[in-house]
Amino acid sequence: MANAYQIIVCGSLVPDPLQTLEPISTPGGPALKNELMLPAALDPWAGHALFEAANLAKQIPGSQVWLVSLGPKAKLQQLMMSVAQKAAFSFVPVEGNAGGFMSSVDCASALVKAIQGIAGLDMGRVLLFGGWESASRGAGSTLQLVGDALGIHDQFMGVDEIKVLEDGSFTVLERVEGACHQESLCAGAPAVLGWATGNLPEPTNNPQVGMVNMRSIMPALQKAVKAEVGLDGVEYVSVSLPKQLRDTRIVKDMPADEIAREIVEWIKK
């Protein structure tokens, strides 16, 4: 069977999606109104990556999982109170701004330094997991930048499944256009996998796992390294919520062809 993996998951907090998010301009650049007061949740795409990593580690004896997160220390502590019960992992926090307008280059640089500081890391056994997209930055480039900086050139994005074979190689199922998947064969680690939704449900809370995780999470938070993460010279002219457009007309007994014609004309406008 394959050698044990060292699985590093890059994932951080985002504002709870059930909250109303209002962008504002500040002296330091664009931000969200009352951002520090908003409840935090684990980025959904990063959550899938973490659950898949924990599942893979169970299948391959001796494998380890690290969760590397960038964000304000107080918010990370709040986040870990719920995430720690979902899966077993070692926590590597990086204290810094995790706002949705931050530069993916700065974020990647901070994550790379944190990963390189992990004791006993063997790059020949590393699988770098993360979200294919993000509910916060959404740049679609942070994970790839981290992989390039670490010298990992086998990268797969939009991953829904990984199957490890007896010789240590593995197949990867990636999303492509037209609601199809592409199956690739990778010789083995190291590799970068940007996860889509995967195939696993969200694990139920396990208090025992949470207690074990929190024993290492709290000391890790106390030692969290600060990172200077900013806009990297990017200037925003304005930030605002998308405008909602609703144009409803109720008509009876209209032929289907006529309905289709009107819809096409509306779209063209």
Least Cα distance to 144 among 184, 104, 174 occurs for 104
Name the pTM for this structure. Answer: 0.82
Q: Give the domains, in start order, of the chain with CATH numbers.
A: 6-226 (3.40.50.620)
Mean pLDDT, the chain, integer? 86
pLDDT of residue 170: 93
Q: Which residues of the chain have pLDDT under 50?
A: 1
Q: Which residue has the tokens 């109720």?
A: 250
The pLDDT score that the predictor gives to residue 1 is: 46
Encode burial over 110-130: b for 16+ CB neighbours within 10 A, e otherwise: bbbebbeeeeebeeebbbbbb
CA dist 35 → 4, 16, 98, 239, 253 (Å): 40, 11, 10, 15, 50
pLDDT in tens, 178-225: 778 899 999 988 999 999 988 888 888 899 999 999 999 999 998 888
What is d(CA 104, CA 156) in angstroms, rounded to the nearest whole number?
18
Q: Which helix (H) or strand (E) holds 77?
A: helix 73-83
Instruction: Yes or no: say if 51 and 61 are a contact pair by the CB < 8 Å rule.
Output: no
pLDDT in tens, 125-153: 999 999 887 766 556 788 999 999 999 99
Strands (E), the chain: 6-10, 13-15, 23-26, 29-32, 40-42, 64-71, 90-95, 126-131, 155-164, 170-176, 180-186, 191-195, 225-226
Task: Provide φ and ψ at 209, rounded to 5°.
Answer: -65, -40
**Closest alpha carbon to 175 in 48, 17, 43, 4:** 48
